[in-house]
Amino acid sequence: MGLEFLARVRRSSLWLGGIAALVAATYATPRAGLAVAAGAAWSLVNLILLERLIVALTGPDRRTLPATVRAIIAIGGMMALFVGGWLLLARLPAALLMAGFVIPHAVMVLKAIALLLLPSRAWRRLTGPPWPALIVAVVFAAGWWAVTTGWSQSHGPGAAAASDPRASAGAAPDSHGTAVPTDPHGTASAPGAGGAHGATDAHAAPAQPAGPEKFANVITVLSRAFPHAAWAHFLHQYEAVIYSLFVALLICLVAMVATRNPKLIPGPLQNGAEMVVEGLYNFIVDILGPRFGPRYVPFLGTLFVYILVMNLFGLIPFMDSPTSNLNVTVSLAIIVFVYAQYIGFRELGVVGWLDHMAGSPRTPIGWGLVPLMLPIHLMGELAKPISLACRLFGNIFGEDMLLVAFASLGITVLAFANLPIGVPLHLPFLFLALLTSTLQALVFTVLSTIYFLLMLPHDDHEHEGEAQHAH
């Protein structure tokens, strides 16, 4: 068992820790899922630092300065990790943190047992015929069903009501311990309040119906785990902005890494970046022409990459697509609109821009139609950002709602068994989302390019005039 064994342990622990965190968040509370995930992450980081320390102390270059530096960094990281563990213990349930902490160690023990058990003759005899393996799978599934059923019954929403007979009878204890009747909303009513029968206030505000919810992301889980924390409210309020900035930072980091050390024979990352840049350059120059195309490739190419990554970002578990928020799409559309008008003023001038808005009248009939064409063109310019924003928002938000609907349907298929899994009915639509996300980024970029083209000077009239003079 060497470093390869530890790498397999880390991969298995990541999967098992993620599944355990999802089960805890689903059948208990988001805070419980966060505690399990934090404990597993803490244990994994601790194992990684311990591995680095052992390699630095026992490796062939252990007496060199780089090995000493790596050992010092590993020790410092472990000390910082213990401080972080103390903070986690102060804010999250200790039992669930310990459960997450045990996951990598349990995986390590089970893998070690598997390495000893799988080559043995007894294991080959057990797994040779299909029936023993089927029996083991059925027993495992039944045990898992029993555990999850007990967990859901003991931590579900009705657990507290079932444990208190007065709550189930529609009564709540008052300050003296006597049962006080409650209304259907769970609020206690005093005997002398609101009439002889303790009627509740008729003017109470009705409950507002909740809107459609997307898949929970990291910020949503944090805001639900810490509902009274000011920083959680801040993150939830600016969720779309935070994800947009994170995607922009991620793109910048990838671009920096890809272009940091360019080589004549490019590596995979540099090769991929060059393919994207070359494809976008040829595509945009074919539309705008060789005169203006290279000038606007950086903006339009960056716009395509940015929108594409934001569209696809929501397909990553616990992430969200910023373009499924109308504020983000409206901001992008306004930027394109302002830039297009700036291009018009810079390339055509104020008089040329007004001439373009008036429909470029050159005949008496054209001048007579100016009072009609000018408002139509102005309304058309104002409608462009609205169409860009609503089209992108509607398609990406619709994708998210479609995935949520079919994932919920897949869960309800096995709801009778109280299993923490479901039929992945949304899986085919993930591939459809890959296609539509790319198409929507392409449509947004193509329309923006065409809007730029409409604002640029057209040389076709000049060519037509030259041809007429030649004849």
Neighbouring CB atoms inside 10 A of 459's CB total 11
Phi, psi for residue 188 in degrees, rounded to 5: -75, 145
Decide if pLDDT at 241 tops 60: yes
Residue pair 148/420 in contact (Cβ under 8 Å)? The answer is: yes
Q: How far apart are CA 241 and CA 253, in angstroms?
A: 18
Q: CA-based diameter of the chain, in Å?
A: 107
What are the beta bridge partners of residue 182?
188
The pLDDT value recorded for residue 145 is: 62
The pLDDT value recorded for residue 149 is: 59
Residue pair 243/313 in contact (Cβ under 8 Å)? The answer is: yes
The pLDDT value recorded for residue 186 is: 43
List, in sequence order, the alpha helices (H) in 118-156: 121-127, 130-155
Convert 365-381 to b/e letters by CB count within 10 Å (16 or more is b). eeeeeeeebeeeeeeeb
pLDDT band of residue 439 (cuts 50, 70, 90) is very high
Residue range 5-56, pLDDT digits in tens: 778 888 888 888 888 887 787 777 888 888 888 888 888 888 888 888 877 7
The pLDDT value recorded for residue 132 is: 66
Residue pair 225/34 in contact (Cβ under 8 Å)? The answer is: yes
Q: Is 173 helix (H, G, I), strand (E, B) or coil?
A: strand
**Whole-number mean pLDDT of the chain?**
78
The pLDDT value recorded for residue 75 is: 86
445 or 23, which is more confident: 445
The pLDDT value recorded for residue 451 is: 92
Q: Is 171 helix (H, G, I), strand (E, B) or coil?
A: strand
% of the chain at pLDDT higher than 70: 76
Q: What share of the chain is helix, strand, coil (3-state, %, to 5)?
A: 75, 0, 25
CA dihedral 273, 279, 283, 285 (to 10 degrees): 70
Q: How far apart are CA 379 and CA 375, in angstroms?
A: 6
The pLDDT value recorded for residue 102 is: 86
Question: Residue 455: CB partners within 8 Å, gap ≥ 6?
Answer: 340, 341, 343, 344, 347, 348, 356
Q: How far apart are CA 400 and CA 119, in angstroms?
A: 46
What are the domain boundaries of the chain? 3-120, 237-470
pLDDT band of residue 199 (cuts 50, 70, 90) is very low
Give, for 180, the enclosing helix (H) or strand (E): strand 179-181
Residue range 45-95, pLDDT digits in tens: 888 888 888 777 777 777 787 778 888 888 888 888 888 888 888 888 888
Residue range 378-437, pLDDT digits in tens: 888 889 999 999 999 999 999 989 988 888 888 787 766 666 667 888 888 889 999 999
pLDDT band of residue 376 (cuts 50, 70, 90) is confident
Residue 471 has which token pair? 């004849």
Phi, psi for residue 179 in degrees, rounded to 5: -80, 135
Q: How far apart are CA 37 and CA 97, in angstroms?
A: 8
Q: How far apart are CA 180 and CA 190, in angstroms?
A: 7
Task: Give the pLDDT mean for 316-336.
Answer: 92
